[in-house]
Amino acid sequence: MFLALVTYSIIEEDNRAQHYPAYAYSHPLFSEEMRIYSDSIVSEFLSSIDESTSVMFQNDWNAERNQREVYFSYDSTSKICEAGDLRI
């Protein structure tokens, strides 16, 4: 599932779990028997990845990018909230 999600993120330039099933319907997948997982299964899978593994992956990924460009990694979870403690 991880490879399918990475491919989805790269091809669609998107990472919202709720859009993955529509993408999966019309693209080859790396899951067993090209199984299409629901957005809730995708969210559960991503939640199972601990923070240190996620940070390590992002650091390795960003190290291979063009250092003259700026890359942001972010969580696009849909929640109604106010980000009051953000500093730029």
Fill in the amino acid letter for 12. E
Instruction: Give dist(CA 51, CA 39) in Å, integer.
Output: 21
From first to last of its 88 residues, the chain has per-residue pLDDT tens of 888 888 888 888 877 778 888 888 888 888 888 888 888 888 888 888 888 887 888 788 778 877 787 766 665 555 555 666 666 6
Q: Distance (Å, rounded) from C-alpha 23 to C-alpha 8?
A: 7
Asked if 12 contacts 23 with a C-beta cutoff of 8 angstroms, the reply is yes
Q: Is the pTM of this model over 0.85?
A: no
